[in-house]
Structures are given as structure tokens and as C-alpha cells.
Structure 1
Amino acid sequence: MNDVAQIAPVITIDGPTASGKGTVASLIAQALGWSTLDSGAIYRLTALAVLNHQVPPDDALAVAQIAEHLDVSFHVNGVTLEGQEVSSLIRQEHVGNLASRLAPNPALRAALLARQRAFRRLPGLVADGRDMGTIVFPDADLKIFLVADVLARAERRYKQLIDKGISANLEDLLADMRERDRRDIDRSVAPLVAAQGAHTIDSSKLTIDQTVQTILSLYRT
């Protein structure tokens, strides 16, 4: 890591799926004039590439090679994978579920670590995911662990999908979310856990703006 990267401030926001991490991270970055890292998108992109290339998900080395050579470009309007716009594709539930299954792969995580740390540059970075504060940026200036009741999260995800015109079943989403939480918490590699020194915020009954303002206040003080 170069000297500039070392002094660039970082705010990490970790938490379970659909806790609002991405939206909150984007709004905080906008308020501070910083860049963002959606680490979940990188894992989803890997999952989509695995599907596209018909790589067996249980082939750890093959999956890691896919990640290492991921042809990805992030731009203002979304993200492309191997030249194809995939912003909506990577948000589909089956892609997210596969990403969760692939995430414990140590070789995959190692392949993606340097790619994630490269996002750290001035004036600053807001990074959201599962292990941003524990593994990727352990020296972050502020670490947030954003949680919410699983039913509230399932209802949020249901509304997101319906608003996008994607059919969804709340009970299925709730079951999938509980299973994904279990996988994320129980995995032996980089499990979902609050980083040392992290501030835990329960957003179940908070608006997005209230959550954002709480985190900005913590950073500024």
C-alpha cells in the first residue's frame, strides 16, 4: 500500500444482508465527498462470472481464478462484467445466494483482498460489506456494525424487488435471509462479526436519514 493510501481516511460499515449498508454508505460518501466500495458487489460479480462460465461452485481454486481475473468496470451508471452491463443482474436473489455460498472460500477472499484495498484513496473511502472493519481495513478511522431485525430486513428487500418490478415472496425472502445470516455468522473464514472498536447501530426503527446522521456525527466527533 502506498503512502497516499495509508493516510486516506476510511469509514467501514459492516452488517447482515439488507441492513441498509449500501444506501447508507453511498449517502455518507456523498456528504463527505468520498468514494465508496460496495464489497458485496464484487462477490456478486464473482458469483455471476462463475455462473456465466459454468464453473462448479465447489471448485475453490477455479472460483479463485475467476475472481483474480475478473474483468469488471465500475462507472457512474452501474457496473459491467466482461463488457456487459450487469447492475441489475447481480442484485438477483440467486446471484446473492451463490455469492454467500462462495464467500467462505479462503482462496477467493485472498484473490479479492488487494482489489478491495485498492479503492482506498484520497480524500477518503466509505466501505460496506461483511468484513470491512475486521479484515480489509482493520485500521479504519470509524467502524460501524449496522444491524436490523431480520423481518424488517426481509420486508425492505421485498419492497426493493417489488419496486423494481421483480416478483418476490416475503416468506421465501425471510427464509433465505435467515439461512444467509447463519452462513455469514458461522463461516470459519472472516465471519460476520462486529469489529473491535465498532459502533453497533440498530436501524430497525430508524429512517435512512437518521442512520446517516448518526454515523456522520460519530465521525465528526
Structure 2
Amino acid sequence: MSTTTANAKHGRREVNRERVAKLAAELWARNSYHGTGIAELSDAVGLGRGALYHYIGSKESLLYRISKTQVDRMNDHAEELLHADLPTEDLLRGMARGLIRNIASHRAEWTVFFREYTALTGDKRDRVVGARERYEGYWRQALDRGVADGTLKPHPRLLIKGILGMLNYTYLWFDADGAVSPEELADDFLAALLDGMRGPSASSA
């Protein structure tokens, strides 16, 4: 088999895996992970059980992939912004916009993540929890940077939970096709947040 043929087959396999993951996320977001059997998933994606297992490995492996993919993307995005040497408010704005934009674009996947990741076991669950904690850590770094440069005043460490809760749970209600864009919503949230957090250097600017 030529390298070109092998690469083409690999590309088709990845496309099919992405399609299976997307359809599974939509199905589980509606009917729940435990409430959806393999037969229903097989019907939804139009594959026999054998072909389906070829793409997913196992139902739990598919849940793991869906649960971790978007969190990994947000970690990459946050890390890139943190390394860009942006002013604190621009950094926070970029992180907030990126998160709400991703949630709006992948609402089913985030619904599955928030509602179903606890069904994962062993290393799979540990890796997903670790990825979530890593993302929280990036937000903590951004806020700590703002305190250090005087842009933000010192704040309780648990405040980060409230900030991420405000952003994360837009998966429950935000309509990406509505009158407000993800970026506008993120900016409004951040403005309200920063009004109560600005430090002395921001006030005197």
C-alpha cells in the first residue's frame, strides 16, 4: 500500500470517528449516556455494531473522547494566550471569548462533558478531571498575574470557581443563533466581573 493511500484511509477513518463522536454527543445530550444503548447509537450513525466498535473501541472510550476533546482545545487556547504577553484585561477577555465561543459551537459535547464525565472510570476519569483542573489553573494564573501587576485587587481563591461556573454553564441556555454573539456575551460577563475586581493601577489609569 502506498503512503498516499494509507494517509487517505487514515483521513477517512478520522473523519468517520469525528462524525460518530458528534452524533453520539447529540444523542447523549438528548437522552443521556446511560439512557442510550449501543443499538440506538448504531442506528443513529448508520453503522453495524462491528463497524461501530471499530471506530469507538468501546462506549466508555467514546465518552472519554467526547469529554476530553474540547477541554484539551481550551487548554491549548489558554496556554497560547498566557504566552502571548497580553495586558491582563485582554488576556482574560481572550480566554472568556474562547470558552464561550467553543461552548456555543460544541454545545452537545459540553453537555455530555458536564453531565456524563462522572460515568468514566479509572485512568480515563482521572485524565479528564486533570484536564479540567489544568484549565482552572490557567485561569488562576491569569488572575494572579492581574493581581501582581495591580490591574486586579486581591480576591478569594475560590472566586475562580464562580467565574468558571458563570462561563461554563452557558451550555444550558446560550443560543448561538440569538441576538447576542458569544464574544458580546463574554465581554458583558467580563465587564461585570472586572468592575468589582479592578485594582489600584486600573483605577488610576
* TM-score, normalized by the shorter chain, greater than 0.5: no
Structure with greater strand share of residues: 1
Name which one, 1 or 2, has greater alpha-carbon Rg. 2
TM-score, normalised by the number of residues in structure 2: 0.28
Q: Which has the higher contact order (CA 8 A, sep 6+)?
A: 1
As a proportion of its length, which structure holds more helix? 2
